[in-house]
């Protein structure tokens, strides 16, 4: 009798093949159960899930206070005076005062910790160490410093406290740069390499207390109580004060109105100064700086006018014209009317590297400027200058 075909196949299977067939049968049974459960879910409406509470925000930690920034700057130049004066001095100049010589104008180290209301940094400060030709000329004069050499290389040194009152009240105490006048100490932030007569005449620094409060996003008020003008240590009982209003009526326009008053060496010294900057076009910036100074010996008045045009991302051209009425000789030591015209070309080779080429012509209504070719002074002074500016560090914007 012959066996059925299935029985013959089963009998012909090896033990391994028989085990595999059993496993396949088990898997098919499990799959059938799962398919039945899934069919039951699709036919039954799901119950609504209970409402969930919105996720709670994680607590934010205060922004950590960063370490103070360390910044370096090198300012050097060469200037040629066509009068070829002897001694080789460019008269009435602040930052390009030597003729026919390569000069180290300033080597600067700036250490700064800025305050910030949003970042909850309520204390800070700044120290500027300076060395070089301009430092010796502009700081630490024996005429108004009892110990000039002691503080000469310390251009700024002040601590800052930010009181979280309203928009934030900032209190600075120590030695700080003056803000009387548009032009400042660091050449990289200026329209031109050389400085106008008013920069050389108005105070460079003060020592004492400075308080500022932003009344509005476009309006800040500042008050000073200081030893005097260019005085780190006071040498009399008098103190000087300043009231400063900073405006920005439009995003393209900003300005300052400054009043400084003091009584030094038994004589009053008052400065009324105002300067404005207008970004007339993304490539064109215009500015003006007007001053009136009264002293017991007389008065000085005048102003400077500026324009800068961005030719390309690396090239810019700037011009400055200054009128300076020194009718009492307070600035130059001689009663005269002065004016100057300065033309400057700037090449920004890198983010922190500038070349500056400059032509400047000074004029007087008196024979005042030294010259080699004649024993009598000239009424004109013409210089050609080349400035090299390099700076390093994380500090952004104007120094």
What are the pLDDT digits (tens) for 230-281? Answer: 999 988 878 999 999 999 999 999 999 999 999 876 678 999 999 999 999 9
Q: How many angstroms separate the CA atoms of 296 and 268, rounded? A: 6
- In this prediction, residue 314 carries a pLDDT of 95
Asked if residue 222 is part of any domain, the answer here is yes
- In this prediction, residue 59 carries a pLDDT of 40
- pLDDT of 350 over the 90 cut: no
Q: Which residue has the higher pLDDT, 218 or 20?
A: 218
Q: How many angstroms separate the CA atoms of 186 and 72, rounded? A: 12
Q: Check: CB of residue 250 under 8 Å from CB of residue 159.
A: no
- pLDDT of 367 over the 70 cut: yes
- pLDDT of 62 over the 50 cut: no
What SS3 class is residue 180? Answer: coil
- In this prediction, residue 334 carries a pLDDT of 94
Asked if residue 68 is part of any domain, the answer here is no
- In this prediction, residue 66 carries a pLDDT of 65
What are the pLDDT digits (tens) for 182-200? Answer: 999 999 999 999 999 999 9
Asked if residue 49 is part of any domain, the answer here is no
Among candidates 175, 104, 103, 99, which has minimal Cα distance to 140? 175
Q: With a threshold of 0.85, does the pTM exceed it?
A: no
Q: How many angstroms separate the CA atoms of 381 and 197, rounded? A: 14
What are the pLDDT digits (tens) for 187-233? Answer: 999 999 999 999 999 999 999 999 999 999 999 999 999 999 999 99
Which residues are CB-contacts of 251 (< 8 A; sequence separation ≥ 6)?
none
Q: How many angstroms separate the CA atoms of 207 and 136, rounded? A: 18
Asked if residue 41 is part of any domain, the answer here is no
- In this prediction, residue 17 carries a pLDDT of 58
- What's the chain's average pLDDT? 87
- pLDDT of 57 over the 60 cut: no
What are the pLDDT digits (tens) for 85-110? Answer: 989 999 999 889 999 999 999 999 99
State the burial class of residue 352 (Cβ atoms within 10 Å of its Cβ: 0-12, 13-18, 19+). Answer: middle
What SS3 class is residue 36? Answer: helix
- In this prediction, residue 375 carries a pLDDT of 83
Asked if residue 3 is part of any domain, the answer here is no
**How many domains in the chain?**
1
What are the pLDDT digits (tens) for 24-55? Answer: 667 677 766 667 676 665 544 444 444 443 44
- In this prediction, residue 54 carries a pLDDT of 41
Q: Mean pLDDT throughout 390-395?
A: 94
Q: Mean pLDDT throughout 285-295?
A: 96
Q: What is the dihedral of CA 129, 133, 138, 141, to 10 degrees?
A: 90
**CA 76 to the chain's CA centroid:** 20
- In this prediction, residue 263 carries a pLDDT of 84
Among candidates 317, 255, 261, 325, which has minimal Cα distance to 287? 255
State which residues form the domain around 314.
82-392
Asked if residue 17 is part of any domain, the answer here is no
The secondary structure of residue 221, as a DSSP letter, is E
Asked if residue 172 is part of any domain, the answer here is yes
**CATH of residue 106:** 2.40.160.10
Q: How many angstroms separate the CA atoms of 259 and 241, rounded? A: 8
- Integer angstrom CA distances of residue 313 from 284, 310, 350, 389: 13, 7, 10, 17
Asked if residue 31 is part of any domain, the answer here is no
Q: How many angstroms separate the CA atoms of 194 and 183, rounded? A: 10
Beta bridge partners of 353: 350, 390
The dihedral of CA 171, 172, 178, 183: what is its sign? negative
What are the pLDDT digits (tens) for 107-157? Answer: 999 999 999 998 899 999 999 999 999 888 888 778 788 898 899 999 999
Quote the percentage of the chain above a pLDDT of 70. 84
């Amino acid at each position: 009798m012959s066996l059925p075909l299935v029985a013959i196949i089963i009998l012909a299977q090896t033990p391994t093949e028989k085990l595999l067939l059993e496993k396949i049968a088990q898997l098919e049974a499990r799959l059938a159960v799962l398919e039945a459960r899934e069919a039951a879910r699709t036919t039954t409406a799901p119950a609504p899930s209970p409402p969930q509470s919105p996720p709670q925000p994680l607590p934010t930690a205060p922004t950590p206070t960063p370490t103070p920034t360390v910044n370096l700057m090198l300012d050097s130049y060469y200037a040629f005076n066509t009068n070829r004066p002897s001694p080789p001095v460019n008269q009435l100049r602040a930052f390009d005062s030597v003729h026919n010589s390569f000069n180290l104008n300033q080597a600067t180290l700036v250490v700064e910790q800025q305050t910030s209301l949003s970042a909850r940094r309520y204390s800070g400060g700044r120290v500027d160490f300076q060395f070089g030709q301009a430092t010796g000329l502009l700081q630490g004069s024996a005429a108004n410093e009892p110990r000039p050499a002691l503080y000469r290389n310390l251009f700024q040194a002040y601590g800052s406290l930010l009181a979280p009152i309203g928009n934030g009240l900032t209190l600075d105490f120590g030695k700080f740069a003056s803000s009387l006048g548009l032009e400042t100490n660091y050449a990289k932030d200026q329209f031109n390499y050389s400085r106008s007569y008013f920069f050389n005449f108005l105070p460079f620094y003060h020592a004492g207390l400075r308080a500022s409060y932003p009344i509005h996003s476009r309006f800040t008020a500042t008050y000073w109580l200081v030893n005097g003008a260019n005085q780190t240590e006071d040498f009399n009982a008098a103190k000087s004060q300043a009231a400063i209003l900073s405006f920005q009526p439009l995003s393209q326009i900003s300005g300052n109105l400054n009043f400084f008053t003091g009584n030094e060496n038994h004589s009053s010294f008052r400065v009324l100064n105002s300067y404005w900057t207008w970004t007339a076009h993304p490539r064109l910036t215009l500015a003006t700086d007007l001053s009136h100074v009264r002293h017991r010996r007389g008065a000085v008045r005048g102003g400077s006018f500026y324009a800068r045009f961005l030719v390309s991302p690396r090239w810019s051209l700037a011009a400055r014209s200054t009128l300076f009425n020194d009718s009492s000789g307070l600035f130059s030591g001689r009663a005269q009317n002065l004016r100057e015209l300065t033309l400057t070309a700037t090449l920004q080779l890198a983010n922190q590297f500038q070349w500056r080429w400059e032509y400047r012509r000074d004029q007087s209504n008196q024979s005042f400027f030294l010259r080699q070719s004649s024993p009598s002074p000239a009424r004109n002074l013409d210089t050609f200058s080349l400035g090299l500016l390099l700076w390093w560090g994380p500090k952004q914007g104007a120094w």
